[in-house]
Amino acid sequence: MKITQIRNATIWVEYHQTKILVDPWLGPKEYMPGFAGAIHSERRQPCTELPFPMEQVVEADAVILTHVHPDHWDQYAEQSLRKNIPFFVQSEADLSFIASKGFKQVHILSAEGTLFREISLYKTPGQHGEREKIEPACRQLGLPYEAMGVIMQAMGEKTLYLAGDTIFCAEVKKTLERYRPEVIVVNACAARVESGDRLIMDEQDVAHTSSNAPQATIVVSHMDEVSHRSLSRQQLQTFVQEHKLPHIYIPANGESLVF
């Protein structure tokens, strides 16, 4: 298994001789205004350029899109990915959205599992911020609340858990207990809205994930790029060192980790 941090939540997962592109957000530096309602809505985003040429980023065997929020999917991905690439999404609504962009092979993942090239893919639940607070706010903005995680399993590979956009919650804890993943990718820039409510993990959530999965190596993604971030790579690295948390890696854009 090889995981390459591209930018924000965009990563390559090379798993069982298959290269999967996750959450392709591919526009140039600062092409988007900050999100309305974000704690730093004045910041344009993303904050950096892609570490690889666009044509290299989209060279993949499949795409996993955890949800259709605009910091996980954009028109640059729509225009650059080949229309026959296998695409895995969380719901009928997301399938309809991606299919409307001309993509021909769009599939919905389920908790029961989907087999792709001898890789078993399982949809997992989470909370994209505390449900009772954030779901109504998303509805008012016309944005979907749900964001899936994904478990990957294959013969000869470690079990991989892509937690996706979620806080640490009962659903994540149950997934850790059920699958006992050996590698976990968490999104952890502690993105916040103006009220202070968090949408994804912070340093404490990373620590909780580690303590609930002591067998696992944790890779931290979704850092330093969006207008609602409240935790930087450097701050998280300092927290990890001060609390002597083992097996936590915070890769830079363009960096790869092999397991």
Q: Where are the beta strands (DSSP E) in the chain?
A: 2-7, 10-15, 18-22, 62-64, 87-89, 106-108, 114-116, 119-124, 149-153, 160-164, 183-187, 217-221, 248-249, 256-258
pTM greater than 0.85 (yes/no)? yes
Please tell me the predicted confidence (pLDDT) of residue 115: 98
Please tell me the predicted confidence (pLDDT) of residue 30: 98
Please tell me the predicted confidence (pLDDT) of residue 144: 84
Please tell me the predicted confidence (pLDDT) of residue 183: 98
| Both tokens assigned to 215 | 């067998």
Please tell me the predicted confidence (pLDDT) of residue 36: 87
Please tell me the predicted confidence (pLDDT) of residue 140: 75
Are the C-beta atoms of residues 222 and 8 closer than 8 Å to each other?
yes
CB-count exposure of residue 114 (10 Å: 0-12, 13-18, 19+) = middle
Please tell me the predicted confidence (pLDDT) of residue 199: 95
Please tell me the predicted confidence (pLDDT) of residue 226: 97
Structural domain 2-258, CATH architecture: 4-Layer Sandwich (3.60)
Please tell me the predicted confidence (pLDDT) of residue 54: 97
Please tell me the predicted confidence (pLDDT) of residue 138: 79
Residues in the chain predicted with pLDDT less than 50, given as ranges, are none
SS3 141: helix
Q: How far is CA 205 from CA 65, 144, 169, in A?
A: 23, 23, 9
Contacts of 166 (CB under 8 A, 6+ apart): 126, 127, 128, 147, 149, 172, 187, 200, 201
